[in-house]
A and B are shown apart, each in its own frame.
Chain A
Amino acid sequence: MHDLNTYLFVAAILFSLGVFGVMTRRNGIAVLMGVELILNAANINFVAFSRFGGMNMDGHVFALLVIVLAAAEAAVALAIVINIYNNMNTINVDEASALKE
């Protein structure tokens, strides 16, 4: 119906938006959402390559594993965010800069 490139462009848009979100959002949870966008973009690529590579199901399995990873990552990331909130009373990542010299 549509060729591979359409899907890849859509994924590229989602990816770029995700990276933008990760780079610019102050709120930790918003950063997490950016990460989810990036992961979704990657998943679209997996499934699209699978579809146009002769319906090879390996791509689906990878996408599935990515979703599971995303779930795990979301759980841990949110735990960290809540921990930071408890300790610093803020979840703005640019205020949590204890890594500085």
Chain B
Amino acid sequence: MMDNIFINYSLFILFLPLGAFLVQILIGKRLPRQGDWVSIGAIVITLILAIAMFVAMLLDYDPNFKQEASFTWIDMGAFSISLGFLVDNITVIMLLVVALISTCTHIFSLEYLKGDVRYSRYYAYLGLFTFSMNGIVLANNLVSMYMSWELVGVSSFLLIGHWFEKDTAADASKKAFLTNRVGDIGFFIGIMLIYTAVGSFAFGDIFEGVAAGMISGTTLTFAGVGLFLGAMGKSSQFPLHIWLPDAMEGPTPVSALMHAATMVAAGVYLSVRIFPILTPDALLFVAYIGGFTAIFAATIAITQNDIKKVLAYSTVSQLGYMILAVGTGVYTAAFFHLLTHAMFKANLFYGSGSVIHSMHHALHEKHDHDTDPQDMRNMGGFKDKMPVTYWSMLLSTLAIAGVPLFSGFLSKDAILAGTLSFAQHHPEHFLLPIFGFGAAAITAFYMFRMMFLTFHGEPQMPELMDDIHESPKEMTGPLILLGGLSVFVWYTLPYFNPISSHGWFTDLVVPKDAVVPGNLTAHEIEEGAHHAHYLAMGLSIGVAVLGIGLSILMYLKKVFSAETWGSRAGFMYDWSLNKYYFDENYNKYLYQPTLRLANKIAWIDWELYDKYFINGFGRVTDWASRVTGKFDFDAIDQTLVDGTAKLASGLGAIFKKVQTGKLQNYVLYVTAGVIVLMIIQSF
């Protein structure tokens, strides 16, 4: 079983980053160059293995390819837990994504984190994250996925809080961790519901159990929604989206790796994995959450001025897309979008990192430590100064905006076709495609707004322009690579049709029927999506052009003034700028009442319970111990213990006279003693 090449490679892919983590955390600081080469070596080997697996998968070209290996972890008679690997096409693709983005991040960080105080610790955490992310990807059961899930949460906490001297970073890491916990509780409840009904944690057993009707109806809906809550937390879906924008306090390469490409995609990955057991009701819930998140986050992204905040809300919005796709049944499209989005969004983050790095450097030269290097209002006109960054970001922006010839167009198109088809089946859910297309238009608009504000127009701080330089090749390398991967052709090989996603991906990742009785079959969904394909394509090109056009008019040509339109929008602009006051409302209606309740309970605990109950116990004990203490001292100590000592002392005074120190006296005593013993014996 374990001699399989895929399983062996997976083992290496899983544990190499863990090894790098251990080396870094234990002796990293003492190694030359703080040991970054250990981490980079490990991750490059991981990448090579992942590519090897990917090539093997392509050579095999089997849509039903599947390898499983498991071992028993806990065995207590009736209760046993097996852990193991599941390697299928989705796993292989996901492993490659994780390994590729992780490698890029490792290399990018060489320059970005140069001279950082916790350089080796940073690389250690990157290794830990890669290990746990691969753990999620490779899990064949919910338990090991849950464990890796939490480890991902921990490494996210550690990396967001990398610069924990900054209060905002420390708060953001706590917020990310705690918000994730909310979703994880649901995840855990879902796992337990399913285990109670099916008696196994393994995906295969669960699917069989659900198909056999061991769990169905409302219970299954709740279990599915519970599992999806975990996905909501990790994938930052409304209303648990609040942590992701704050997570931008972490180093930018980390944002690219975790908060754009992989960690937040874990929720989508989980949804894709559990798709077959989601009931129609649960799917509807998923679809609405995803759709609403997509358009909701997009409207926030319009008004943000921080370049990373724009990207963060864009990520939330795109994740909403994927979740929407899962909810409407085209879950392979969700995974396709995960793949393309990982590439272009990671690239956008690297690009923003490059810009911020350059800004930071320029501000440093001017001894200006007050200006925010991430604020787009301070940028402008960087296009000629940073050509590599500009062009690679432009490729990715075109991809995310859904322009034909780019990867995002294909995947977004598949999702939108799915929503249209869903709405055709269920006309009462007409809102879902509106969410989808609306978000697409807004995405195109704000992404180009970001590009224009950053790279075009007049420099807002001309005094900095002399010091704005292209970043070194450790940073531009990943940019060029991932920018190139934003082009459609990589995803449609061996075909070259820019408007059809037909290619190796659609051949290898084919949707499977849901195991819940009553759901649409994969074939029906595909038929529907196929029919809606051209309509969706036309509409999506239309909204993309609309969004880009508006953006050009407003920010490039300045035909309309952004300020005027912003003030005309009135309260809507304010809401968007302030993220719909979510943090404030959570604070007012959730955190503060919780704190007040906690204070009340603490008052009861302290004033009543502690003072009367606990202290009462204390007084009784005190009195009892005084009594026993008196007895102990007078009766035992003075009489018994001291008496014994006095007796021993008196006897000692008598017997010490026998101790002459003369050896021969002793011999005499001994011999005399022997004689006495012999005489006694003889009677």
Contact A93–B663 (Cβ < 8 Å): yes
A97-B662 in contact given A19-B671, A23-B671 (Cβ < 8 Å): yes
- List the one stretch of B394-402, B457-465, B574-582, B653-661 in contact with chain A: B653-661
Q: Is A63 an interface residue (CB 8 A)?
A: no
Contact B661–A100 (Cβ < 8 Å): yes
Contact B664–A99 (Cβ < 8 Å): no
Q: Is A56 an interface residue (CB 8 A)?
A: no
A101-B662 in contact given A22-B667, A23-B667 (Cβ < 8 Å): no
For residue B445, give the distance in angstroms from its CB to the closest CB of chain A: 103
By a beta-carbon cutoff of 8 Å, the part of chain B in contact with chain A is 656, 659-664, 667-668, 671
Contact A94–B667 (Cβ < 8 Å): no
For residue A89, give the distance in angstroms from its CB to the closest CB of chain B: 18
By a beta-carbon cutoff of 8 Å, the part of chain A in contact with chain B is 19, 22-24, 31, 93-94, 96-101
Q: List 25 A-B contacts (CB under 8 A).
A: A19-B671, A22-B664, A22-B667, A23-B667, A23-B668, A23-B671, A31-B664, A93-B662, A93-B663, A93-B664, A94-B662, A94-B663, A94-B664, A96-B663, A97-B661, A98-B661, A99-B659, A99-B661, A99-B663, A100-B659, A100-B660, A100-B661, A101-B656, A101-B659, A101-B661
- Name B669's closest neighbour in chain A (CB-CB): A23
Query: Which chain B residues lie closer than 8 Å to A22 at the CB level?
Result: 664, 667
Query: Which chain B residues lie closer than 8 Å to A31 at the CB level?
Result: 664
Q: In the complex, which of the residues A19, A23, A98 has the most CB atoms of chain B within 10 Å of its own CB atom?
A: A23
* Tally of contacts, chain A with chain B, CB under 8 A: 31
Query: Which chain A residues lie closer than 8 Å to B659 at the CB level?
Result: 99-101
**Complex: A23 Cα to B656 Cα, angstroms:** 21
Q: Which 4 A-B pairs have the closest CB atoms?
A: A100-B661, A97-B661, A99-B661, A94-B662
Query: Which chain A residues lie closer than 8 Å to B662 at the CB level?
Result: 93-94, 97, 100
**Complex: A31 Cα to B663 Cα, angstroms:** 11
**Complex: A22 Cα to B668 Cα, angstroms:** 9
Given A23-B664, A100-B659, 9 new contacts (CB under 8 A) = A19-B671, A23-B667, A31-B664, A93-B662, A93-B663, A94-B663, A98-B661, A100-B661, A100-B662
- Name B668's closest neighbour in chain A (CB-CB): A23
For residue A80, give the distance in angstroms from its CB to the closest CB of chain B: 12
**Complex: A39 Cα to B660 Cα, angstroms:** 27
For residue A48, give the distance in angstroms from its CB to the closest CB of chain B: 21
- Name A99's closest neighbour in chain B (CB-CB): B661
For residue B666, give the distance in angstroms from its CB to the closest CB of chain A: 9
Query: Which chain A residues lie closer than 8 Å to B661 at the CB level?
Result: 97-101
- Name A95's closest neighbour in chain B (CB-CB): B662
Query: Which chain B residues lie closer than 8 Å to A94 at the CB level?
Result: 662-664
For residue A90, give the distance in angstroms from its CB to the closest CB of chain B: 14
- Name A98's closest neighbour in chain B (CB-CB): B661
For residue A99, give the distance in angstroms from its CB to the closest CB of chain B: 4
For residue A56, give the distance in angstroms from its CB to the closest CB of chain B: 27
Query: Which chain A residues lie closer than 8 Å to B663 at the CB level?
Result: 93-94, 96, 99
Query: Which chain B residues lie closer than 8 Å to A100 at the CB level?
Result: 659-662
Query: Which chain A residues lie closer than 8 Å to B667 at the CB level?
Result: 19, 22-23
For residue A100, give the distance in angstroms from its CB to the closest CB of chain B: 3
**Complex: A101 Cα to B668 Cα, angstroms:** 19
For residue A29, give the distance in angstroms from its CB to the closest CB of chain B: 14
**Complex: A94 Cα to B667 Cα, angstroms:** 12
Query: Which chain B residues lie closer than 8 Å to A98 at the CB level?
Result: 661
Contact B671–A24 (Cβ < 8 Å): no
**Complex: A93 Cα to B663 Cα, angstroms:** 7
**Complex: A98 Cα to B661 Cα, angstroms:** 6
For residue B382, give the distance in angstroms from its CB to the closest CB of chain A: 94
A97-B664 in contact given A19-B671, A23-B671 (Cβ < 8 Å): no
**Complex: A93 Cα to B667 Cα, angstroms:** 12
For residue A16, give the distance in angstroms from its CB to the closest CB of chain B: 10
**Complex: A60 Cα to B671 Cα, angstroms:** 28
**Complex: A94 Cα to B51 Cα, angstroms:** 92
**Complex: A98 Cα to B662 Cα, angstroms:** 8
For residue B672, give the distance in angstroms from its CB to the closest CB of chain A: 10
**Complex: A100 Cα to B663 Cα, angstroms:** 10
**Complex: A36 Cα to B660 Cα, angstroms:** 25
Query: Which chain A residues lie closer than 8 Å to B660 at the CB level?
Result: 97, 100
**Complex: A99 Cα to B656 Cα, angstroms:** 12
**Complex: A24 Cα to B668 Cα, angstroms:** 9
**Complex: A71 Cα to B671 Cα, angstroms:** 24
Query: Which chain B residues lie closer than 8 Å to A99 at the CB level?
Result: 659, 661, 663
**Complex: A97 Cα to B659 Cα, angstroms:** 10
For residue B250, give the distance in angstroms from its CB to the closest CB of chain A: 76
For residue B112, give the distance in angstroms from its CB to the closest CB of chain A: 77
Query: Which chain A residues lie closer than 8 Å to B664 at the CB level?
Result: 22-24, 31, 93-94
Query: Which chain B residues lie closer than 8 Å to A24 at the CB level?
Result: 664
